[in-house]
Structure 1
């Protein structure tokens, strides 16, 4: 009897082991897909291992965050990187503590000394998105230094509505020659005291709720993201007062296993005395070089491939992008290239461009249009893209309107 029971327990363990290994493998792949290499108490952040841009050259370092095995109520996160071209260390130190498990409410604090691309806007509520390398980053050369101290609150209002708010104090210094002129005074450093609030609404997500947690089973579309930011003049030494409202919606039509379309609309408006650092570009991704082959680089995911870096800046803008993914070509079980048809449009303008000194740029008031295609996953995740610029900002030289690049798509 004892022998039989022992054999039975052993058989059960042997039966469960492959399933447990499969679950662990799935969790590891999910973690790597989010950009983390897990360990017992601390997850290494793969975003900081190595990158490249035109200002820092090679940028390399380490970062990470504590996990639930360390604590479910407290977390610490940090990173440190070094740029070999600008010969400068950058770092961030932060942490948080949880106020309520059911609503996933956290208070977060951080101190950051780093760079940010001029004209870029980040939504507080964006999920972590990891790429093996970031295509646009390779060619960006317009950055500003910032030292930012912040305190934030993240809170799940409902299972389909996420909120984040933040109070921050920043010292901003452009790495390029730039000054803002207003009422006869010229300023080239910006001290900002800013409040932000962001909402991400996903009304069509499929949610599974249990006593322990709420889990997203399937993403639904459309999704909507709103963000409002206000910089207060004369508060904690702030020398600029302005406000910004940003909006984004993403919609997908069809199934990923078949042909489907993806529509993305992004818009923003800034009011008040807003330095160039905090205005808008339209996600350009083209190098200012003479020939098509000299401009050959990596296509981004949602960028304007024929728009040259630093060509346009706006204090109000909107972009519309339509991607239609054809059904993958079933060449073999593993080899399935896919063609994507793309069309993009941007419009914008700027009040008082004369206030921005030592920089040259255009407006987008005539409307910017480009269309093209991608042929993805041709070899080891690599593919090619071709895009043509036309309409209000079509250039006199035919070849200057063409962007020919390669693409890179890998998913875990």
Structure 2
């Protein structure tokens, strides 16, 4: 695993260096349609802009334990192509599972003032089992997704969806989605329901998500609503409903997910960040749609074998697939100390971190061929990061204690890289 991490980080750094070296040339080619500042803004949002089409950098290169190296291309049409219609798609290939994945979609704008879009998509891809994605988070970009390196539990899904984006008010973003999904776990799993055993299944799902940013500042113009100043706290709420026997759906269940993020101060002068995430599911919910509490520790014997890259909001000492819950809550508190001004360009930063998770699950015996525990006693870890020591790299140390403290000292410790880069 350590060898794969170094290889992937080397390729990533090379790609970033190449991208920055050629940013000026690309900007000159497209200077008739886009300014340098706009180019950098697009790049920071994860897009490489051209005249009519913006390439999406999320699909360029990734790595995980199931697909190994995953690479591809994707993007979306821009305003120069059309302000009323858009087409978005991607195609990727995983060298580990020797399989192509893809998505094709599009949308049209119903109302410009409220930035209301009706979108359609067809996707054949993978999703991490136990993960929850908020609809309003779909345009979140990182040059490097550290936790992705370690994930090994995925399920295949073929999803046909239609969704409606609507800015209800400048501070309240909504999105509603209807989807038909065929799910096939890539691992040995079966769900026992009503005396029947399901190894793959169909779901008909409706979702509605609300993102409320009451303390942000917004500007309304002819082009729509734009955030001019980010304010905290922010709140996100999402309700999911699966309908049994609708379009041959196998199970009926519901989920309610909530997240709030609050920040006090600034990273340049000291910043405290508090993140609360919770979720509850009711009904006949398969493992694919339960909660895993964001683990990021590889199931290896020694600390050095588990040496990898720390995530942004993950539990570094919690082993993958160690816990699953049908209701859970996590609280993470980070305090960024004022950066150490060693020199004008060299400014490492110390971050103090504490994380807590609690949860439970009813009828775990329904989930067959997989073993996991419950979080009902409360899980705690604390540690620190020293970021930006060299070329965006840093180090993190985390210790697991409390009710789920393990007998061997080394099993409670996570020692990892951190990686932070920004334009």
Fold conserved between structures, TM > 0.5: yes
Shift of residue 182 of structure 1?
2.1
- 1:353 — aligned with what? 364
Q: Say whether residues 1:177 and 2:188 are aligned partners.
A: yes
2:247 is matched with which residue: 227, 236, 244? 236
What is aligned with 1:14? none
* Structure 1 SS opposite 2:139: coil
Partner of 2:23: none
Indicate the SS of the match to 1:52: strand
Q: Is the 8 A contact 2:115 2:225 kept in 1?
A: no
CA distance in 2, matches of 1:326, 1:127: 30
Equivalent position of 1:113 in the other structure: 124
Residue 32 of structure 1 aligns with which residue?
Answer: 43
- Asked whether 1:247 is paired with 2:258, we answer yes
Q: Which residue of 2 aligns with 1:13?
A: none
How far is 1:206 from its partner? 1.3
Offset of 1:27 from its aligned partner? 1.3
Residue aligned with 1:209, SS: strand
Could you say which residue in structure 2 is the equivalent of 1:281? Answer: 292
Give 1:212 shift. Answer: 4.5
What displacement does 1:24 show? 2.0
Distance 1:140 1:127 in 2: 20
CA RMSD for the aligned pairs? 1.3
Q: Determine the C-alpha separation between the residues in 1 that align with 2:367 and 2:89.
A: 35
In 2, distance between residues paired with 1:197 and 1:225? Answer: 11
Distance in 2 of aligned mates of 1:295 and 1:29: 36
> 1:174 and 1:328 mapped to 2: Cα distance?
44
- 1:386 to 2:397 alignment: yes
* Structure-1 residue corresponding to 2:10: none
Distance 2:318 2:416 in 1: 13
The 2-side partners of 1:127 and 1:321 are apart by 22
Report 1:6-17 matches (<5 A). Answer: none
Cα deviation, residue 26, structure 1: 1.8
Distance 2:221 2:85 in 1: 23
Whole-angstrom CA distance in 2 between matches of 1:134 and 1:319: 20
Q: TM-score, normalization: structure 2? A: 0.91
SS, match of residue 26 in structure 1: helix
Distance 2:119 2:230 in 1: 27
| Conserved? CA contact 2:108–2:117, under 8 Å | yes
Structure number with greater Rg is 1
Structure 1 residue 229 displacement after superposition: 0.4
Q: Is the partner of 2:35 in helix, strand or coil?
A: helix
| Pair 1:366 & 2:392 matched | no
**Aligned-partner Cα distance in 2 for 1:93–1:212:** 26
Q: Helix, strand or coil: the match of 2:239?
A: strand
Structure 2 equivalent of residue 333 of structure 1? 344
**1:64-93 residue CA offsets vs partner (Å, 9 max, x unmatched):** 100000000000000001111111110000
**Displacement after TM superposition at 1:156 (Å):** 0.2
Match of 1:265 among 276, 290, 313: 276
Task: Give every structure 1 segment of 4 or more consecutive aligned residues whose post-TM-superposition deviation is greater than 3 Å.
Answer: 210-213
Q: Structure 2: where are the runs of 5+ without partners?
A: 1-30
1:134, distance to aligned residue in structure 2 (A): 1.0
The alignment covers a number of residue pairs equal to: 393
Counterpart-to-counterpart distance in 2, 1:155 and 1:211 = 16
SS at match of 1:51: strand
1:147 equivalenced with 2:154 (yes/no): no
Q: 1:102 to 1:53 in 2, by over 3 A?
A: same
Q: Separation in 1 of the partners of 2:98 and 2:191?
A: 27
Taking the aligned partners of 2:343 and 2:224, their CA distance within structure 1 comes to 41
Q: How much has 1:190 moved relative to structure 2?
A: 1.4
Cα distance in 1, alignment partners of residues 43 and 140 from structure 2: 11
Partner in structure 2 of residue 290 of structure 1 = 301
